[in-house]
Amino acid sequence: MRTNATTALPQQVIVPAYDRNRLTTKIVHFGFGAFHRAHQGVYTDELANQFNSDWGICEVSLYSGKPLLEQLQQQDHLYSVVEKNAIGPVIKVIGCVRESMHPDIDGKQAIIDKMAEPQIAIVSLTITEKGYCCDTNTGQLNSLHPLIQHDLQSPTAPNSVIGYLVQALRVRRDKGLPAFTVMSCDNLQENGHVTRDTVVGFARLLDTSLADWIQKNVTFPCTMVDRIVPAVTEDSLDEITKLLGVSDPCGVVCEAFRQWVIEDNFVAGRPDWNLVGAEFVNDVIPFEEMKLRMLNGSHSFLAYLGYLAGYEYIADAMADPAFKKAALALMLNEQAPTLTMPKGTDLEVYAASLIDRYCNTNIKHRTWQIAMDGSQKLPPRLLNSIRYHLKNGSDFTHLALAVAGWMRYVSGVDKQGEAIDVRDPLAATLKSICDKHGPNVSVVKALVLVDEIFAKDLIKSEVFINSIEMAYQTLLLKGAKHSVAEL
């Protein structure tokens, strides 16, 4: 699929109506994953289509994304997005990407040089929680992380995104160029602050004056992003081929809903994404916590317990009345009370909209996919809410069952003795603990001692430990389906 081939696509396909040659690469983005393609890519493309914006994107993948970027380059950096609603699919061709880079193709220095070009105003990130190399409890840099250890020894040839950012900012400072904005679009609580703390923390280990320059000149806006984008599968690619009439290995399928709330804190300018539905605000954190706890927290609940109950997709779990009722109760009774929202925010309406989205059978969102990287996700999605309830003496039965479900899941073996493909940075550590204890409630206290996940306040809380042990024992005795039904 190349620019000159878009005229041959079916009439219903929405294609770029703007001159792509007008676009200037002003954004470098790390993480050409499905979510970015369906979210920030769509907003930026629509802005060019509707308002003649000249903001273009250079996509960067550092690790496993090389084949996808090579395919993107063969397609003149065009890719497709299929948005699925109750009426039918809407298919768009996205044209705002102008360049793409990978260290194995271009070399590390070329990526750093691209970030140091004078017109680059934003470096944005969708690198997942683990890409920040931080302690998930504190949000501070984990200086012992293997990637960080490498980059401290070889700062001009980094392996981590944090290392790339700091080296590019060093080059800009040394050349007398202004700083760019670093914008995280990952599901991290206070993602802008975490990004700032890890970047400045790394820089301070290398060069105190550079750290001070970054702290003074670089902005790190917080963002809240939302759109359900299932992992790409052969089935979804086949569907895209049928709708387009040509294959597109870079294509993605997503829900029609989308949301983007952005702290308006950009040191070198920004696109007017608000013209196409984004919202610029002074304080993103309340919206971020709302999404992390109500949406992401309930997603994790459904992922672990749904997988253990034998449900492959979120919509399958939601077809079980007990799971649907439990997800809503989790949101309204145990997550909503922990939030402090701006006046006029209706959390009941928000929860109802999430339930409707989860029930969309056109979106094949696998419980296994959402269950990935749980060690990174538990603190912001579930554990911080539990802290609120421990402090206030209120009930957190659903949250406890979600944590117990994660503990049962990371054992790597389900109730039928079938292997679970656990994808997690701490998978080996977690499995060794579970193997030592077996399916026994004693594993709870052992897992809670993993301090990369559970901070000292929880480790010392008898109420917390007892609640998780009770939930875990229920899972062992009755299984996930009956445990959720009894809620």
CB atoms within 10 A of CB 181: 21
Exposure letters 374-392 (e unless 16+ CB within 10 A, then b): bbbbbbbbbbbbbbbbbee
The SS3 call for residue 261 is strand
On whether the CB atoms of residues 230 and 253 are closer than 8 A, the answer is yes
| Nearest C-alpha neighbor of 179 from the set 191, 165, 195, 193 | 165
89-94 and 79-84: which strand pairing?
Answer: antiparallel
Lookup result for tokens 């870079």: 250
Tens place of pLDDT per residue across the chain (487 aa):
555 567 679 999 999 999 999 999 999 999 999 999 999 999 999 999 999 999 999 999 999 889 999 999 999 999 999 999 877 899 999 999 999 999 999 999 999 999 999 999 999 999 998 999 998 778 899 999 999 999 999 999 999 999 999 999 999 999 999 999 999 999 888 999 999 999 999 999 999 999 999 999 999 999 999 999 998 999 999 999 999 999 999 999 999 999 999 999 999 999 999 999 999 999 999 999 999 999 999 999 999 999 999 999 999 999 999 999 999 999 999 999 999 998 889 999 999 999 999 999 988 899 999 999 999 999 999 999 999 999 999 999 999 999 999 999 999 988 888 999 999 999 999 999 999 998 999 999 999 999 889 999 999 999 999 999 999 999 999 999 999 999 9
CA angle, 241 then 242 then 244, to 5° = 65
Q: How distant, in Å, are the alpha carbons of 259, 311, 352 from that of 327?
A: 21, 15, 10
The CA dihedral of 357, 362, 368, 370, to the nearest 10 degrees, is -30
Burial status of residue 334 (CB atoms within 10 A of its CB: 0-12, 13-18, 19 or more): buried
Which phi and psi (to 5°) does residue 152 adopt? -65, -35
The domain made up of 3-281 is a member of CATH 3.40.50.720: yes
Cα separation, 326 vs 398, whole angstroms:
7
Supply the pLDDT for residue 4: 54
Supply the pLDDT for residue 188: 86
Amino acid letter, 267:
V
Supply the pLDDT for residue 362: 87
Crossing angle of helices 462-485/297-308, nearest 10°? 60
Lookup result for tokens 């369906």: 38
CATH of the domain spanning 285-485: 1.10.1040.10
Which phi and psi (to 5°) does residue 212 adopt? -65, -40
Helix (H) or strand (E) holding 99: strand 97-101
Instruction: Tell me the pTM.
Output: 0.86
CB atoms within 10 A of CB 3: 16
Supply the pLDDT for residue 429: 95
Range(s) for CATH 1.10.1040.10 in the chain?
Answer: 285-485
Supply the pLDDT for residue 259: 95
The SS3 call for residue 98 is strand
Range(s) for CATH 3.40.50.720 in the chain?
Answer: 3-281
Give 319's DSSP letter.
Answer: T
| Nearest C-alpha neighbor of 180 from the set 258, 119, 268 | 268
Lookup result for tokens 């792509």: 20
On whether the CB atoms of residues 121 and 79 are closer than 8 A, the answer is no
